[in-house]
Amino acid sequence: MTAVSPDTRGTDERGTLLRLYREIARGRALEDVVHRLVQERSFRGFFHPGRGQEGLQAGVCAALDSDDYLLYAHRGLTYLTAKGMDPVEVLGDFHGRVVGSTRGLGAGTVHCVDPERGVMGQGGTLGSSFTLSAGLALASKALGESKVACAFFGDGASARGTFLEAGVTAKAWGLPVVWVCENNGWAVSARVQDVQGTNDIAPRAEALGFHTQVVDGQDALAVHEAALEAVAQARSGVPAFIEAKTERIDGHYTGDMQPYRDRDEVAVAKARDPLDLAGGRLVALGEDPAALAQIRAEAEAEMAAADAAARQSPFPDGSRIHEGLWA
């Protein structure tokens, strides 16, 4: 098992980190729009905010090729825009409009898809991404393609039985999977230590024969470097696993006041905001703070425009519900 540190950085640290900063800012701005939709009741489903975890999502997705498969987790949206999805389509799904990626189907917890960019959605149940990613990787291998299948999941989902079943298969068949555990220490309101007897998930993957790495999930650049290595391993036929130790700043869902968490713990999580950490590092490398403020402003303007465009799209007619039914 490898512990990834920020001590071995590439020659273009500033340029890479600046690109990651932009994706983190875009993901943050997109989620801010969704928060407003929930508050104004334009969207009545559940939204699980990813504030605090955008850095690792951007870092991994930036290491994937445009056609690599992505199965994202339920917490946050940065995966989608970092993989190339149009935010108009993402917000169209939240509004239930035909411009959305599902053309108006929507969901209580929105599922976005973009097969052309490898975005295959998220599993309908927690833990299903393990078997789905194994299936996608098997298809890639059978077709002689070089695509990897990257699946994100939380520490809670890592306890599902499908982790073992799909992991054994991936190792036995040399499937090109990259599994990314976003370990924020909480499964809804339960501490991972209390329900799993450990704070560390990577040893399970190591025992299965995965190439494993543990990384600070708040350090977007360190995650990106770990992801580049993991993707290379997967393409060579060695399943790869990244455990990103991260921070969940907000509650399990929008409106969750987190009475089960200590206030000091939440304050520590906020102090390790990946957007702020990346920005601080960029300034130390010589970036102008005004340029970073401009990036954030552009991200906010982009997502505001995407929301306006999504709202102008019509709702689907009743026939949409029957499309895709085969029984």
Q: Which CATH number characterizes residue 204's domain? A: 3.40.50.970
Tens digits of residue pLDDT in 52-92: 999 999 999 999 999 999 999 999 999 999 999 999 999 99
Tens digits of residue pLDDT in 243-253: 999 999 999 99
Tens digits of residue pLDDT in 100-133: 999 998 766 788 999 999 999 988 788 999 999 9
Domain membership of residue 219 (yes or no) is yes
- Mean pLDDT in residue range 21-25: 99
Token code pair at residue 198? 């450990």
The tally of domains found in the chain comes to: 1
Domain membership of residue 298 (yes or no) is yes
Token code pair at residue 108? 């209580």
pTM score of the predicted model: 0.94
Q: For 314, which DSSP code?
A: P
Domain membership of residue 86 (yes or no) is yes
Domain membership of residue 257 (yes or no) is yes
pLDDT confidence bin for 176, thresholds 50/70/90? very high
Domain membership of residue 322 (yes or no) is no
Token code pair at residue 143? 């077709």
CA distance linking residue 24 with residue 219, whole number of Å: 12
Domain membership of residue 317 (yes or no) is no
Token code pair at residue 289? 């703070």
Q: For 48, which DSSP code?
A: B
- Residue 235 pLDDT > 90: yes
Domain membership of residue 259 (yes or no) is yes
Backbone torsions φ then ψ of 178, nearest 5 degrees: -125, 115
Q: How many CA atoms lie within 13 A of 173 on its CB side?
A: 18
What percent of the chain clears pLDDT 70, i.e. is strictly above it? 96
pLDDT at position 151 is 98
The single-letter code of the amino acid at 112 is C
Decide if 106 contacts 100 (C-beta within 8 A): yes
- Mean pLDDT in residue range 132-157: 98
Domain membership of residue 326 (yes or no) is no
pLDDT, mean over the chain:
94
> 13 lies in which domain range?
2-311
Task: Tell how far CA 226 is from the center of its chain.
Answer: 15
Task: Tell how far CA 314 is from the center of its chain.
Answer: 29
